[in-house]
Amino acid sequence: MATALITGITGQDGSYLAEHLLDKGYRVVGVVRRSSTTPYERIAHLVDRIELASADLLDQTSLTDVVGDTQPDEIYNLAAQSFVQTSWNQPVLTGEFTALGVTRMLEAMRKAAPKARFYQASSSEQFGKVIETPQRESTPFYPRSPYGVAKVYGHWITVNYRESFNLYAVSGILFNHESPRRGLEFVTRKVTDAVARIKLGKASELRLGNLEARRDWGFAGDYVDAMWRMLQQDEPDDYVIGTGETNSVEQLCAAAFGAVDLDWREYVKQDPKFFRPAEVDLLVADPSKARSQLGWEPKVDFESLVRMMVDADLARHTAR
């Protein structure tokens, strides 16, 4: 039985990846940080089937010990401070988790399990103020937030450890990926949650920032399969993962409100509080390398994704 170690297992991607690997017969070990509350709602249905190990991306010794004790075949480094807006308020902490945390994980692997295969969660935010459209593996990076800058570091340190120490280490440059398990601070989930509350008479408006930003939004459940495929190749390499379709925040609102027969213009208000100091205006992936080399294709399109999220939020708020 192969063993997978996942940092960030309590997050959206960690929970989908754990399900995916359990289905394939893996032993799954999740790295969790000690805290006074237990944020396990996304993995509550899995806790009997996975192991949890305590370590912190800020603490090298704990990471090296977990990797040494677990002896994983595959390591998925999904943990990070992952919210762009917060990265302006906590830029140094974002760098500690999202940038240096990657080096610490790579060091842990190099010292304690150098034959393991390493997946780094790179991000389309690395493309930021895009140099070309669509964005592919060879597109130069131009990050636009402390988060994006930290992710660029994480990306290059992964490439550098691969080339310096002959490790099997890859970066998946994933475009935005969403689901009913997405955090409520991200725009997709903020919108679908508000749509559900408005439809049920529990809210009357939705305050948003820039409605013109465009993103390539896919389904997180599809994207964890791409992560796994990247670690099954003969040679380690980096891949862009996205749908190739881009939609604006306004189109997101139209789709989500439209799913419950409401007109978004009657409810959405713009609020300067949600605008960003620097914006990423347009992201759209060219996933052709992943299609041809990994045999990977997204299965859920934008409309179906939005509907899935609205339905889940309606069910959740109705049950309360």
Q: Does 210 bind ligand GDP (CB under 6 A)?
A: yes
| Cα→Cα distances 101→13, 55, 79, 97, Å | 18, 12, 8, 5
Q: Does 186 bind ligand GDP (CB under 6 A)?
A: yes
Distance CA 268, CA 244 (A): 27
The SS3 assignment for 205 reads coil
| Cα→Cα distances 21→1, 39, 75, Å | 11, 21, 12
Distance CA 212, CA 250 (A): 6
What is the number of the residue whose Cβ is closest to ligand GDP?
A: 213
Catalytic hit among 16, 76, 147, 168: 147
Q: Does 86 bind ligand GDP (CB under 6 A)?
A: no
Q: Does 142 bind ligand GDP (CB under 6 A)?
A: no
Q: Does 307 bind ligand GDP (CB under 6 A)?
A: no
* Active-site residue flag, 288: no
Q: What is the DSSP string of 217-230?
A: -EEHHHHHHHHHHH
| Cα→Cα distances 155→51, 57, 102, 162, 297, Å | 28, 16, 9, 11, 23
CB atoms within 10 A of CB 83: 15
Chain residues 30-59 in contact with ligand GDP, contact rule CB under 6 A: none
- Find the binder of ligand GDP among 194, 249, 282, 284 (CB under 6 A): 249
- Find the binder of ligand GDP among 155, 215, 216, 238 (CB under 6 A): 215
Distance CA 281, CA 211 (A): 10
CB of 213: closest distance to ligand GDP in angstroms? 3
Distance CA 184, CA 191 (A): 9
* Active-site residue flag, 250: no
CB atoms within 10 A of CB 301: 14
The SS3 assignment for 103 reads helix
The two structure tokens encoding residue 191:
């919108």
The SS3 assignment for 170 reads strand
The window from 97-105, 184-192, 227-235, 294-302 that contacts ligand GDP (CB under 6 A) reads 184-192
In which residue are the tokens 């409309």 written? Answer: 303
Decide whether 110 or 190 has the Cβ nearer to ligand GDP: 190
- Find the binder of ligand GDP among 121, 170, 187, 231 (CB under 6 A): 187
Decide whether 245 or 279 has the Cβ nearer to ligand GDP: 279
How many residues line the site for ligand GDP (CB under 6 A)? 19
Closest CA to 241 of 154, 142, 173, 152: 173
Q: Does 105 bind ligand GDP (CB under 6 A)?
A: no
The SS3 assignment for 102 reads helix
Catalytic hit among 19, 74, 125, 178: 125
The window from 102-110, 130-138, 164-172, 181-189 that contacts ligand GDP (CB under 6 A) reads 181-189
Pairing of strands 247-248, 214-215: antiparallel
Catalytic hit among 62, 123, 145, 171: 123
* Active-site residue flag, 125: yes
- Find the binder of ligand GDP among 209, 245, 267, 301 (CB under 6 A): 209
CB of 84: closest distance to ligand GDP in angstroms? 4
Q: Does 208 bind ligand GDP (CB under 6 A)?
A: yes
CB of 174: closest distance to ligand GDP in angstroms? 11
Decide whether 167 or 187 has the Cβ nearer to ligand GDP: 187
Decide if 153 contacts 221 (C-beta within 8 A): no
The window from 2-10, 223-231, 275-283, 303-311 that contacts ligand GDP (CB under 6 A) reads 275-283
Q: Provide the binding-site residues for ligand GDP, judged by CB under 6 A.
A: 84-85, 125, 176, 185-188, 190, 208-210, 213, 215, 249, 274, 276, 279-280
Q: Which residues carry out catalysis?
A: 123, 125, 147
